[in-house]
């Protein structure tokens, strides 16, 4: 949700900023801009639209411009026009900033600054930060401290003084025209990483904009800032307390974030699922001896085994994975489990008793609501674990311990491989807790052996992509779809509907199949598609009844069934098969046809699947 990138080094900054913005474009893509320091003045170019619209208005890059800021926006305050695009200059023209986050008290600060005679140009909360820094830099605050500092110290002081006034979240890159060799970054609640290269520094919202230049990085923590100059960088808190930060290795490579011959990141990520799950489970499952080892939470396993109450919390697709987890923990480990939307959990008065464990699930590790749920659970004394993909992300760092997905970077806005990897981690955890609490070792070994076969079974489903494309073509003109499943496939029905909505803009609803007759059945008209997940399992006969109800009303059926199910053919207008697997493991298979169906429907309708309308990959605002 908004991508920021800044460069200081010896190379020409503009192409590096543009390349970085392209890598971050999945975080927001309604407007973009860059700021460069140009002989003592700040030159800003910005526009509504995507990075290619920005490229079209840029001047030729100048080799002497070796310091700059870039931003790609997902609008919160103010429509996505040129004036609201970042970078934002301050009223004196000396300061320019790029910002990711939301300033909650911007109204009060804006009024105060306006009363001081400061003029505003945009509707954004960000301009308040620029003007506040500019104001303190220009006039001080009357204190002895402000009178004593000058030069670079004054710039740093003004930034700190301004940041201490802000309520809300920020990842910031800041320039001052008086210091053509200084770049300041600051962070609270939004991600910010400093890539440290050979004589160059790249400050960015995520590692995707950095890996091309260096794999060495410093992860800033909340309320920290960094001042970068050609000679090096120093970090301190916004209260001016120096801190030493360790360099970390960025754990992914450039190839992992490139398209590698696929038309879209989403398609690449769908096809990467066999590999992603193999990596995710690699070294963790021992099919031979029926054991699971999740190193990251080893020291919490006793507590987890004894827990009387497990809360899973997440947003979007990760919430759907959580719901699968709830069913797994109940069935295999007999642990009372609830799955909560993080946005609701954080504002409720949740019951967290002694021994409650909260597990937060997030691909990005940056989702604002999920991060707030972590804090809320910690404040109430729960042990908080994370299931996160992005190494070193805010949620990974805020939780007591956790399990990384190791699914590789996910760039497509619609989450795919992260879902199956989240479910794989939840399954491994549920089997291990189940073995310790409820099921026999033999049963656990059986599940582990089946789990090991999932990547190959996914590969077989992927072979049907062209067939699924034809089904999408036959139905993509329909504006209303239903997705129905029962038991472990009910969360998959929710996920299938979400995928279709997100990228094809078709209205879709996911439901437990039996709920259809309590209302949604009224929607069924001639040719309206209903996607049924009707794989072999305890509820097979029940869902057959629901299929008959749809057909009796003229609806079309797209059925996901188990390979070899001859009986179901006569009930399906369109049939997609998945290899046989125990019901508890089916979500990692049955979701695949739904991801492909959504992808092909979106393509046939002419949409940009990697950058769907109004969405952003990582929702770092409430
Ligand atoms: C956004 C994305 C979804 C994702 C959700 C949660 O809405 O578009 O694909 O499921 O955020 O993201 P997280 O990174 O916390 O899993």
- Which of 363, 365, 404, 598 to mutate for ligand 1's pocket (most ligand atoms within 8 Å of CB)? 363
Q: What is the pLDDT of residue 292?
A: 94
- Which of 341, 619, 621, 622 to mutate for ligand 1's pocket (most ligand atoms within 8 Å of CB)? 619
- For 357, the 3-state DSSP assignment is strand
Output the CA 572–ligand 1 centroid distance in Å.
Answer: 32
Alpha-carbon gap, residue 585 to 324, rounded angstroms: 10
| Contact status, residue 371 vs residue 190, Cβ threshold 8 Å | no
Angle subtended by helix axes 587-604 and 417-437, to nearest 10 = 170
Q: What is the pLDDT of residue 150?
A: 81
- For 94, the 3-state DSSP assignment is coil
Residue labelled with tokens 């450039």: 254
- For 506, the 3-state DSSP assignment is coil
Q: State what percent of residues in the chain have pLDDT above 70.
A: 99
The pLDDT tens digits for 136-161 are: 999 999 898 888 888 889 999 999 99
Q: State what percent of residues in the chain have pLDDT above 90.
A: 79
- Nearest alpha-carbon partner for 586 in 406, 279, 324: 324
Nearest-atom index, ligand 1, CA of 395: 15
Q: Which residues' Cβ are closer than 6 Å to ligand 1?
A: 315-318, 362-364, 367, 370, 413-415, 615, 617-619
Q: Which residues contact 577 (CB under 8 A, 6 or more apart)?
A: 464, 560, 561, 562, 563, 564, 565
Alpha-carbon gap, residue 279 to 220, rounded angstroms: 28
Indicate which residue of 22, 46, 94, 617 is catalytic.
617
Phi, psi of 12 (to 5 degrees): -70, 120
The distance in angstroms from the start CA to the end CA of the chain is 11
Q: What is the mean pLDDT of residues 376-385?
A: 94
Measured at the CA of 298, the angle between CA 296 and CA 302, to 5 degrees, comes to: 140
Alpha-carbon gap, residue 13 to 45, rounded angstroms: 14
Q: What is the mean pLDDT of residues 213-222?
A: 94
Q: What is the pLDDT of residue 30?
A: 87
Nearest-atom index, ligand 1, CA of 367: 15
Q: Which residues contact 587 (CB under 8 A, 6 or more apart)?
A: 324, 423, 488, 489, 491, 492
Alpha-carbon gap, residue 253 to 270, rounded angstroms: 19
Q: What is the pLDDT of residue 81?
A: 86
Q: Does residue 96 register a pLDDT over 80?
A: yes
- Nearest alpha-carbon partner for 213 in 226, 227, 202, 225: 202
Structure tokens at 292: 């699971």
Preceding peptide of 87 cis, ω within 30° = yes
Structure tokens at 163: 């940041």
Q: What is the pLDDT of residue 591?
A: 98
Q: What is the pLDDT of residue 461?
A: 98
This prediction has a pTM of 0.87
Q: What is the pLDDT of residue 621?
A: 67
Q: Number of helices (H) and strands (E) in the chain: give both, helices first.
A: 19, 27
- Which of 269, 318, 360, 402 to mutate for ligand 1's pocket (most ligand atoms within 8 Å of CB)? 318
Q: What is the mean pLDDT of residues 249-256?
A: 84
Q: Does residue 523 register a pLDDT over 90?
A: no
Indicate which residue of 2, 280, 315, 360 is catalytic.
2
Nearest-atom index, ligand 1, CA of 414: 9
Structure tokens at 340: 């909560």
449 belongs to the catalytic site? no
Q: Which domains does the chain have, with CATH numbers?
A: 3-250 (3.60.20.10), 258-452 (3.40.50.10490), 457-609 (3.40.50.10490)
How far, in whole angstroms, is CA 261 from its chain's centroid?
A: 24
Alpha-carbon gap, residue 592 to 276, rounded angstroms: 14
Secondary element (H or E) of residue 183: strand 183-188
Alpha-carbon gap, residue 235 to 226, rounded angstroms: 4
Residue labelled with tokens 């582990």: 448
Secondary element (H or E) of residue 285: strand 285-286
Q: Does residue 257 register a pLDDT over 90?
A: no
The CA-atom distances, in angstroms, between 594 and each of 471, 477, 507 are 11, 17, 15
Output the CA 388–ligand 1 centroid distance in Å.
Answer: 11
Q: Does residue 443 register a pLDDT over 90?
A: yes
E strands within 177-304?
Answer: 183-188, 193-196, 201-204, 216-219, 224-229, 232-237, 242-243, 248-249, 285-286, 291-292
Output the CA 318–ligand 1 centroid distance in Å.
Answer: 7
Helices (H), 380-511: 394-398, 417-437, 441-462, 465-475, 490-504
Give the mean pLDDT of the chain: 93
Q: Does residue 603 register a pLDDT over 70?
A: yes
Residue closest via CA to ligand 1's atom 2 equals 617
Alpha-carbon gap, residue 281 to 451, rounded angstroms: 9
Q: What is the mean pLDDT of residues 383-388?
A: 97
Q: What is the pLDDT of residue 144?
A: 87
């Amino acid at each position: 949700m908004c991508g920021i990138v800044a460069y200081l080094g010896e190379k020409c900054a503009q192409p590096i900023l543009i390349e970085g913005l392209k890598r971050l474009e999945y975080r927001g893509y309604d407007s973009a801009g860059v700021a460069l320091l140009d002989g003592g003045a700040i030159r800003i170019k910005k526009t509504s639209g995507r990075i290619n619209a920005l490229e079209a208005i840029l001047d030729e890059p100048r080799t002497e411009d070796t310091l700059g800021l870039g931003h790609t926006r997902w609008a919160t305050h103010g429509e996505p026009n040129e004036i609201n695009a970042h970078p934002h200059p301050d009223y004196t023209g000396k300061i320019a900033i790029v910002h990711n986050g939301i300033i909650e008290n911007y109204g009060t600060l804006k009024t105060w600054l306006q009363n001081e005679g400061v003029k505003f140009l945009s509707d954004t909360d960000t301009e308040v930060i620029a003007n506040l820094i500019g104001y303190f830099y220009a006039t001080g605050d009357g204190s002895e401290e402000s009178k004593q500092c000058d030069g670079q110290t004054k710039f740093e002081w003004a930034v700190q003084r301004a940041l201490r006034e802000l309520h809300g979240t920020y990842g910031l890159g800041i320039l001052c025209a008086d210091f053509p060799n200084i770049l300041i970054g600051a962070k609270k609640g939004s991600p910010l990483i400093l890539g440290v290269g050979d004589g160059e520094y790249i400050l960015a919202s995520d590692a995707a904009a950095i890996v091309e230049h260096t794999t060495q990085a410093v992860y800033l923590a909340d309320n920290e800032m960094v001042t970068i100059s050609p000679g090096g960088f120093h970090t301190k808190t916004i209260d001016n307390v120096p801190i030493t930060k360790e360099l970390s290795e960025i754990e992914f490579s450039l190839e992992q974030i490139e398209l590698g011959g696929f038309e879209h990141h989403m398609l690449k990520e769908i096809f990467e699922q066999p590999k992603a799950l193999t990596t995710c489970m690699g070294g963790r499952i021992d099919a031979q001896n029926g054991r699971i080892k999740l190193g990251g939470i080893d020291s919490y396993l006793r507590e987890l085994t004894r827990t009387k109450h497990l809360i899973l919390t997440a947003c979007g697709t990760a919430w759907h994975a959580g719901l699968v987890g709830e069913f797994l923990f109940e069935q295999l480990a007999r642990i009372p489990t609830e799955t909560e939307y993080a946005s609701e959990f954080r504002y409720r008065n949740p019951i967290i008793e002694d021994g409650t464990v909260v597990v937060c699930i997030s691909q990005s590790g940056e989702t604002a609501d999920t991060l707030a749920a972590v804090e809320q659970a910690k404040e109430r004394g729960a042990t908080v674990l994370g299931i996160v993909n992005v190494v070193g992300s805010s949620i990974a760092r805020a939780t007591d311990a956790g399990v990384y997905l190791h699914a590789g970077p996910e760039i497509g806005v619609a989450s795919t491989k992260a879902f199956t990897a989240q479910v794989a981690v939840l399954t491994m955890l549920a089997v291990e807790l189940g073995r310790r609490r409820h099921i026999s070792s033999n049963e656990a070994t059986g599940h582990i052996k089946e789990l090991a076969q999932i990547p190959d079974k996914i590969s077989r489903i992927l072979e049907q992509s062209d067939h699924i494309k034809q089904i999408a073509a036959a139905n993509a003109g329909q504006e209303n779809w239903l997705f129905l499943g029962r038991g472990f496939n009910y969360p998959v029905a929710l996920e299938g509907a979400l995928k279709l909505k997100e990228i094809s803009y078709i209205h879709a609803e996911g439901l437990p199949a039996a709920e259809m007759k309590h209302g949604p059945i009224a929607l069924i008209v001639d040719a309206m598609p209903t996607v049924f997940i009707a794989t072999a399992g305890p509820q097979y006969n029940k869902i057959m009844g629901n299929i008959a109800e749809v057909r009796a009303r003229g609806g079309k059926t797209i059925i996901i069934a188990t390979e070899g199910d001859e009986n179901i053919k006569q009930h399906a207008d369109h049939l997609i098969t998945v290899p046989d697997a125990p019901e508890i493991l089916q979500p990692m298979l049955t979701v695949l046809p739904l991801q492909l169906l959504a992808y092909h429907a979106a393509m046939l309708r002419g949409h940009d699947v990697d950058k769907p309308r109004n969405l952003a990959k990582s929702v770092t605002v409430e």
